[in-house]
Each structure stands twice: as C-alpha cells, then as structure tokens.
Amino acid sequence: MNDLVIYGAGGFGREVAQLLADLNEREPRWSVLGYISDDVTIHGTISGDLPVIGGSDWVRARTQPIAVALAVGSPAVRRRLVERVRTPYSTFPTLIHPSVSMGRRVVLGEGTIVCAASVLTVDIRVGAFTLVNVGCTLTHDVVLGEYTTLAPSVNVSGNVTIGDGTDVGTGSKVIQGMSIGEWSIVGAGAVVSRDLPANVTAVGVPAKAIKERPSGWYRDDHA
C-alpha cells in the first residue's frame, strides 16, 4: 500500500476520498492517511471519516514517499499548491474512478483526477493537474491544458482545445472545434459556440466575455 494524503479537506476532498475507496475496493493500493489543509483551525479534526493531519509543512517535512491528491477546485490555487508541496519524496498520482469510460489513445498528465461517470472517448490529451469532475464528457481530439478544471456535467465536443488553467463551470457546453484561451473562466451553464481569448470571464448562451484580466493574474496570492 502506498501512503497518500488529500490536499483539501472540503466537499471535493471527501469526494476524492470516496474515489480512492472505490479504487481500493477493486485493487487495494492506497493507504489514505488523511487530509492536508493550510487552515490551522481545522487541524486535528475529522472530515467525513478521515483526520486533518496538518498543512503543507507536513508534506515538506516528510522523509518517506508520499502521494498527494490535489482536491482543490481553483486552478490558480492548485498551481500554487503543487509548487508548495513538490519535494523529492512527494508524487502526484493520476486517479481515475472505476466507473469512467475511457477509450483508446487517451493521455492523462501527472496529478489528474477523473471523477465518477465521466466519458472520455478517443485521441484525447489532458494536461497535468487537471480535474475532470463528475459526469463530464470529452469526445474525440480534445486537448485540455494543465491545471484545467471541468466542473460537474461539462460537455466538451470534438476538436476542442482548452488552455492551461481554464475553469469551466457546471453544465457548460463547448461546441465542436472551439478553443478557449488559457486562464479563462467559463460560467455555469454557458455554451461556448465561438472561440474565447485568454484571461477572460465568459458567461451566457452563447458565451460572451464580460471581464478581462491581465496576463499572469493567476499568480496573485488572492486569485
């Protein structure tokens, strides 16, 4: 069994804990030690049925191999957490729920999590540290950049490219052949039927940019 901690003690953290329990039922592999959170007020408490054992310093102090599952929805925060806990002893496993349907020539990057009931068909490339939430569909020739988040029930049609760090809201749809630039945000229920540039927030049907951000905005500690 490989020791693992879940970074993030909220609702999505508990969902990742269930994903790991479902994986272990099929093939025991992970010894889940508990949650990591930088909120010191919850250290020593229980979330679901696992303890909150410490913060990022707990991972950095570790001198034995430790797998870290990043259960944080915000792409900007997730990017910073990777930098914070990457050590000679830490690894970031790719986790795929047993119920996921995944076809041929699907490549998933380091630290990616694919949640229950999602479908990935063929010839898909998913960058490192991406979250594909419950019930998403990705069809042929989709490219997702690093640190992307797809919220529950996002539908991505064929030949779509989504840039690094893009956050796609619940129930959104991206139409065939569209592209979304890096570090953009797509609101819940939006329909992306035209290309979207980088660093914007877009909402509506069809999705339209309503806010622009400067390049590199995601490096802001308050992002």
Nearest to 131 by CA among 107, 159, 104, 152: 152
Question: Domain with 11 in it: what CATH number?
Answer: 3.40.50.20
d(CA 162, CA 168): 9
- 33 lies in the same domain as 126: no
Q: What is the pLDDT of residue 216?
A: 94
Question: Domain with 138 in it: what CATH number?
Answer: 2.160.10.10
- 141 lies in the same domain as 174: yes
d(CA 136, CA 156): 8
Q: Identify whether 110 is part of a domain.
A: yes
- 148 lies in the same domain as 131: yes
- 34 lies in the same domain as 19: yes
The distance from CA 205 to its chain's CA centroid, rounded to whole angstroms, is: 25
Q: Identify whether 105 is part of a domain.
A: yes
Q: Identify whether 41 is part of a domain.
A: yes
Q: What is the pLDDT of residue 223?
A: 42
Q: What is the pLDDT of residue 222?
A: 44
Number of separate domains in the chain: 2
Q: In this structure, what are the phi and psi dihedrals at residue 150, rounded to the nearest 5 degrees?
A: -105, 115
As to burial, measured by CB atoms within 10 angstroms (0-12 exposed, 13-18 middle, 19+ buried), residue 98 is exposed
Per-residue confidence in pLDDT tens, the chain, 223 aa = 999 999 999 999 999 999 999 999 999 999 999 999 999 999 999 999 999 999 999 999 999 999 999 999 999 999 999 999 999 999 999 999 999 999 999 999 999 999 999 999 999 999 999 999 999 999 999 999 999 999 999 999 999 999 999 999 999 999 999 999 999 999 999 999 999 999 999 999 999 999 999 999 998 654 4
**Is 119 in a helix, a strand, or coil?**
strand
Q: In this structure, what are the phi and psi dihedrals at residue 218, rounded to the nearest 5 degrees?
A: -70, -10
- Distances 11 to 30, 32, 131, 139, 191 between C-alpha atoms, Å: 20, 16, 14, 28, 26
Q: How far apart are the first and last CA of the chain?
A: 36
Q: Identify whether 215 is part of a domain.
A: no
Q: What is the pLDDT of residue 176?
A: 98
- 175 lies in the same domain as 101: yes
Report the run of H or E that residue 128 belongs to, with start and end: none
d(CA 82, CA 92): 9
